[in-house]
Amino acid sequence: MSEFAKRTNEFVDWVHTNFQLISSKVKVLDLRSRSQGRGLTAVNDIAEGETLFEFTRDKVINVDSAALTQLNNGENESILIGLGQWEALILCLAYELMLGEKSKWYPYLKILPQEESQFTTLMFWKDEELEYLSPSCVLDRIGEDAVEQLYHKLVPQYCTKLHVPEMIKFLTFKKFRVIGSLIMSYSFDVDHAEVITEEEYENNSSNQDDKIEAAEVEYRLGETKGEESGSDEQGEGNGSEEYDLTECIRNDTYLKSMVPLADTLNANTRLVNATLHYDHEKLAMKAIKNIKKGEQIYNTYGELPNSEILRKYGYIELPSSAAEFVDLPLDLIIDHYKIAFSKAFPNIKNAPAVVDRILDIIKNSDYLEETLVDSDGGIVIDKYEIYAKGELLPEFVLMLLIFSTLLGSFKSDFKWFRRLVKHSKKREFDIFVNRTIVKCYQLLEERSIVTNSFMEDLKNIIIGAINRYPQNIRKGEFHFPESFTLKLSKRDIANIILSDEVTCLKDILNGSFPPVSDTTGKPKYTIIEDEKLLKNVLKRKLQEDERRSHKRRRA
């Protein structure tokens, strides 16, 4: 028997001893021939709603259950819950791995990847391989530096604090990176028992949303200062302060946890047929669809595009994930408008600088801060997600509508624009931009209206974004393989990611914006003539012009 099979058997025996229920209809299989490691398969037909396995909360590894927490007369617990979720779980898991056979999870730990060579996530790609992924924004999210900072925060200081000095030697940087990556691709965020109400119990699933939550926390750690979208926790200092700003476990309502067997399930955004549910005492994996004998049981790791699946889990779906999106950097929008302003006002030297002034006003808009509670008050974010089939972030739509409306307004009266951008007219300029922000917001909010200029700007920005991709990808010359295997070259994997991103962008050029609402069957936005909006935005200015010319005539 191979070492792989032996480990699987020992793990399955451990599961049978420790779990309350495990259905005879499921089996852990060796799926290495499909480049999927181990996975769970149905050996008999399973009906929707059937429980595949069930176990008590103490079987998962987290700060509540780990051996490290019990040491030091309970003092370790208060130290660990003062840390962030990632930090505490890395330390707890490292300690269990160091305990080896003495850990109560030993047969489980033995089936987890623990060597760098077992990971295909982006953290382990070489620099020259990562270059294949340019210009994808996934490259900004790998978080290599963040891991290093985290390591230096925890080792040796916390090993000493937690009274495990022997862990200083065990937890090398290499091991730390592996454990962090393991947590990234295997952990679940499990709600505390006390936050689950009876009513929630039946619907409670810790997979999709919790995995998304995990992605967000991890995303924050991966970002460098000032790069991320308007989240409070991020960025007002150097990297190490970033960690201090990560919420500590004490204030969270969930625990990042390693969940045996539940994490043996592979995932697929289209084929998901089981999810993890939990109540006060137990966690249970349940079928969410009828599953036929012989079919693989798939979980979901969240609504992630291929770039994120690769970054966090080291594989991709073919030809694409069901939740593809591409990040459009703010710079592309700003560059587009700087060029447009220069072209529209060739005789005004500082026309491109006006775009920066507008951006500042949008950033500091009190109106948006008060109105957009959900997006932390900001529409100026580093990157805007462009989803497949023409779905755009509302923040992006509003941003473009404001800029295209301002440009149209200024073009309508060149002399007025020249006067307005003079330093002495700063107040007037600010008032006009702020008024435009309010009008555009109201128009979108109340009537979901965009203009022809908006559509034109959108098209040109998207063309600019597509032009950054390699020619073979832009021209659709890359041919997708039949299925994902680890034998695919890194270049091919990168080409698939880039092709998926370009497809999202091309969807817009192919007319999928505005997308159609699932509920009403109607387009989500109405496109109107520019003049209608400009008339509204310029109303006050036109009235003042009128008054002034009236006065002149009288004089």
Ligand X SMILES: C[S@@+](CC[C@H](N)C(=O)[O-])C[C@H]1O[C@@H](n2cnc3c(N)ncnc32)[C@H](O)[C@@H]1O
Give the separation between CA 284 and CA 196, rounded to whole angstroms: 14
Q: How near is the Cβ of 465 to ligand X at its closest, in Å?
A: 28
DSSP codes joined into one string, 114-126: -SGGG--SGGGS-
Q: How near is the Cβ of 219 to ligand X at its closest, in Å?
A: 17
Whose Cβ is closer to ligand X: residue 97's or residue 392's?
97
Whose Cβ is closer to ligand X: residue 295's or residue 430's?
295
Residue closest to ligand X, measured at CB: 37
Name the residue with tokens 């400009």: 534
Q: Is 256 helix (H, G, I), strand (E, B) or coil?
A: strand
Give the separation between CA 5 and CA 25, rounded to whole angstroms: 19
Peptide bond into 470 cis (omega under 30): no
Whose Cβ is closer to ligand X: residue 38's or residue 57's?
38
Residue whose C-alpha is closest to residue 205's, from 271, 105, 291, 272? 272
Residue 518's alpha-carbon distances to 29, 480, 507, in angstroms, are: 39, 30, 18
Whose Cβ is closer to ligand X: residue 37's or residue 135's?
37
Give 508's contacts (C-beta < 8 A, 6+ positions apart).
386, 390, 458, 459, 462
Q: How near is the Cβ of 44 to ligand X at its closest, in Å?
A: 21
Whose Cβ is closer to ligand X: residue 215's or residue 505's?
215
Assess contact for 408 and 506: CB atoms under 8 A: no
Strands (E), 400-519: 449-451
Burial 507-545 (b: 16+ CB within 10 A, else e): bbeeebbbbeeeeeeeebbeeeebeebbeebbeebeeee
Assess contact for 143 and 180: CB atoms under 8 A: no
Whose Cβ is closer to ligand X: residue 38's or residue 336's?
38
Q: How near is the Cβ of 540 to ligand X at its closest, in Å?
A: 57
Give the separation between CA 200 and CA 372, rounded to whole angstroms: 28
Q: How near is the Cβ of 299 to ligand X at its closest, in Å?
A: 8
Assess contact for 79 and 210: CB atoms under 8 A: no
Q: How near is the Cβ of 314 to ligand X at its closest, in Å?
A: 5
Q: How near is the Cβ of 152 to ligand X at its closest, in Å?
A: 26
Whose Cβ is closer to ligand X: residue 234's or residue 307's?
307
Identify the helix (H) or strand (E) that includes residue 402. Answer: helix 394-412
In terms of DSSP bridges, do strands 21-22 and 51-56 run parallel, antiparallel, or are they unpaired? antiparallel
Peptide bond into 319 cis (omega under 30): yes
Whose Cβ is closer to ligand X: residue 297's or residue 397's?
297
Give the separation between CA 547 and CA 151, rounded to whole angstroms: 67
Q: How near is the Cβ of 119 to ligand X at its closest, in Å?
A: 8
Q: How near is the Cβ of 255 to ligand X at its closest, in Å?
A: 17
Give the separation between CA 123 and CA 116, rounded to whole angstroms: 10
DSSP codes joined into one string, 318-375: SS--TT-EEEEEHHHHHHHHHHHHHHH-TT-TTHHHHHHHHHHHHHT-HHHHHH-TTT
Q: How near is the Cβ of 175 to ligand X at its closest, in Å?
A: 18
Q: How near is the Cβ of 331 to ligand X at its closest, in Å?
A: 32
Whose Cβ is closer to ligand X: residue 185's or residue 503's?
185
Q: How near is the Cβ of 298 to ligand X at its closest, in Å?
A: 7
User: What residues make contact with ligand X under the rule CB under 6 A?
Assistant: 35-39, 185-186, 263-264, 266-268, 313-315, 484
Whose Cβ is closer to ligand X: residue 264's or residue 306's?
264
**Facing residues of 30 across strands?**
38
